[in-house]
Amino acid sequence: MSVLTLEGVTRRFGDVVAVHDLSFSLDAGQIVGFLGANGAGKTTTLRMILDILRPTSGTIEVLGGPPGRDKAADVGFLPEERGLYRGTTVVDTVIYFGRLKGLPRPVAERAAGALIERFGLGPSRDRRVDRLSKGMAQKVQLATALVNAPKLLLLDEPFSGLDPVNQAVLQDEVLAAAQTGATVLFSTHVMEHAEQLCTRLVMLARGEKVFDGDQEQARALLPTRIHLRARSDPSGLPSVERAGALPTIEEGWSDWEIVLAPGAEPGDLLQACVERGFALRHFEAHGATLRDVFVHLAR
């Protein structure tokens, strides 16, 4: 059974189509990056999954049924707009969210205590939320999303405002959740986090899905580029689709950026240079990054 399934989901706000004909399905244990530029439709989609918004058309299934309050015990959510009760202590906040999700009080207290210690919040457990730093408050918010050990964990821009140390803490928690069988869907437009965590990527542009696959498939959407330094113009070599001259930095040699022909590999070009006696001083291959793919698809 899929943990989450969207079929032909569209959401309109008047004449504005925020999400159009979106379909994808997630299985247990996956960590899926939900990518897209600001305004692409990511947050609107997450709100529909949570039943905060209803689709204009299409269907959503969460853990085998329609989204709704009855799924709260098995779903965790970290919103982009952080929402904590500022006058409540750290420990009472996490316990309260556990109780909202159906945990008996003793269970909520144990889970809250374990998360607070794991996140390094022990010395602040009785401090009010409004007296915490932004990073500490965000860890409290994450604890409220994890307190019920959710089967589906939804994270909306979870790394925003975190320093590198706390980003690493969050990444470890995401990996730990997936290892226990949880499905994690997190929206981001920071490709470094997607590269480090995701086994799969779903990307939106202007409300429509433009990619769904793994990182290797994503990078394969763009050609490998070669930077070489040569005695002469490499445009006529096999495997070269086009060659663009770069500023020359060494007398007697010219620098070029090569785009390979479809299906060609860097080794094919290097072999052609050797066989033809084509003089080289430098040869460096640059595969497409996720950022390159993101920019390409978002445009």
DSSP code for 29: T
Q: Is the dihedral of CA 28, 23, 12, 16 positive or negative?
A: positive
| CB 200 within 8 Å of CB 30 | yes
pLDDT tens digit string along 201-248?
Answer: 999 999 999 999 999 899 888 888 889 999 999 999 988 988 999 988
Shortest CA distance to 193 belongs to which of 65, 32, 56? Answer: 32
pLDDT of residue 32: 96
Percent of the chain's residues with pLDDT above 70: 99
In the predicted structure, residue 254 carries a pLDDT above the cut 80: yes
- In this predicted structure, what is the pLDDT of residue 297? 86
> Do residues 72 and 239 touch, judged by C-beta distance below 8 A?
no
Of the candidates 177, 213, 174, the residue with the CA atom closest to the CA atom of residue 193: 174
Domains of the chain: 4-213 (3.40.50.300), 225-298 (3.30.70)
Distance between CA atoms of residues 239 and 261, nearest Å? 5
* Cα gap 137→144, rounded to integer Å: 11
**How many whole angstroms separate alpha carbon 48 and alpha carbon 77?**
12
DSSP state of 89: B
**pLDDT, tens only, 55-103:** 999 999 999 999 988 888 999 998 877 778 889 999 999 999 999 999 9
Output the average pLDDT for the chain. 90
pLDDT for residue 59: 96
pLDDT of residue 86: 86
Question: ∠ CA 130-132-138 to the nearest 5 degrees?
Answer: 100
pLDDT digits (tens, 9 = 90+) for 133-179: 888 888 899 999 999 999 999 999 888 777 888 888 888 888 999 99
Asked whether the predicted pLDDT for residue 2 surpasses 90, the reply is: no
For the chain, list the strands marked E by DSSP.
Answer: 4-13, 16-26, 31-35, 57-62, 75-78, 152-156, 183-188, 200-205, 208-213, 225-230, 240-246, 254-260, 280-286
